Structure 1
Amino acid sequence: MNLALSTTLQSSFADAVAKTRIALQEQGFGVLTEIDMRATLKAKLDEDIEDYLILGACNPPLAHRAVTIDRQIGLLLPCNVIVRADTSTDGNVIVEAMNPDLMVQVTGEPALGPVATEAATRLRAAIASLGGVAD
C-alpha cells in the first residue's frame, strides 16, 4: 500500500497551493490547519528547505463517520495534504495526500473501510483535477 496519493505539477508553488485548496474544497474538504515547514524550520532551527506546506484537510461528514466508529481515529485526522517544491526538478511542485486506506491498516478496524474508500476517492479526484502527472 502506498503511503501517499500524489501528482507532480509544472507550476509555481503559490499557484499549486491555490489550485490544491480549490480542488480539496470541490471534494468537500476544508483546510483546518496549515503548517509552513520552510518558515517554521528557518525560524526555529535556522535551517533552509524547499517550499513545503502541510494542509490539514477535513471532510466533516467523513470525519464524523470515522469518529463514530473509533474515537481514537482522531489521532489520524485530518487528512494531511502536502504541497512541496520538487528538489530534483526546477519548476515542479509535488502534491501528496495521505492515503486514507492507512486508517484501516493501522487500526485493524474493518468498519472504517467504507469511510477510507470514500475519502480516498475524493482525494484522488482532487489530485487528478490538478492536471499533473500521477506518481
Structure 2
Amino acid sequence: MNIVYERRTDKSLHEAIQSLEESLKEASFGVLWQLNFKDKLAEKGLELKDDFIVLEVCNPKQAKDVLEKNIHVGYVLPCKMVVRTEDRKTYVGMTSPEKLIGLFDESELKDIAKEVEASLKKAIAASI
C-alpha cells in the first residue's frame, strides 16, 4: 500500500510552492496552513538537511460532504501536501486521500476520496 504520491520537478522549492498553490486554487482547493519543518526545527536548534514544507489543503464542499457522512474522517483532514528538496532536486507530493479515507471502509466516502485524489494529482501535474 503506497500512501505517498510524489513527482519531481525542475522548479525551485519556492517556484514549486507558488505553482502548486495556483493549481490548487484552480481546482477549488485552498491552502489552510503551511509549515516549514526546516525552519521550525532550526528555531529549536536542530538542523534538517533538506527543505520540507507541508501544506494543509482543503476543498470546503468535499470536506463538508465527508464530515456529514462520518464525522471521524475529520481526524485525517485536511489533506496534506508536501514540497521538499533532496540532493538539490525538488519534489511535490501528497498522502493519498483514497488510502486514508479507505481506512473507514465506507463506499460513499471512497467515491469522494477518489475525486479528491484525482483533483490533487491533477494539481500536482499542472504545477510541475
Amino acid at match of 2:15: D
Q: Which residue of 2 aligns with 1:114?
A: 111
Instruction: Choose from 86, 90, 94 the match for 1:93.
Output: 90
- Whether 1:43 aligns to 2:43 is yes
In structure 1, C-alpha distance between the alignment counterparts of 2:46 and 2:6, rounded to whole Å:
29
Any runs of at least 4 consecutive aligned residues in structure 1 with deviations exceeding 4 A, and if so which? none
- Unmatched segments (≥5 aa) in structure 2: none
Question: Residues 59-70 of structure 1 correspond to what in structure 2 (within 5 A)?
Answer: 59-70=59-70
TM-score (norm 2): 0.93
| Sequence identity percentage | 27
Q: Which residue of 1 aligns with 2:82?
A: 82
Q: Secondary structure at the match of 1:55?
A: strand
Q: How many residues align?
A: 128
Q: Which residue of 2 aligns with 1:58?
A: 58
Contact 1:103 1:112 in 2 (8 A): no
What's the CA shift for 1:49? Answer: 2.8
In structure 2, C-alpha distance between the alignment counterparts of 1:5 and 1:25, rounded to whole Å:
20
In structure 1, C-alpha distance between the alignment counterparts of 2:63 and 2:82, rounded to whole Å:
19
Contact 2:73 2:101 in 1 (8 A): no
RMSD: 1.3
- Unmatched segments (≥5 aa) in structure 1: none
In structure 2, C-alpha distance between the alignment counterparts of 1:114 and 1:82, rounded to whole Å:
24
Contact 1:56 1:79 in 2 (8 A): yes
What's the CA shift for 1:103? Answer: 2.9
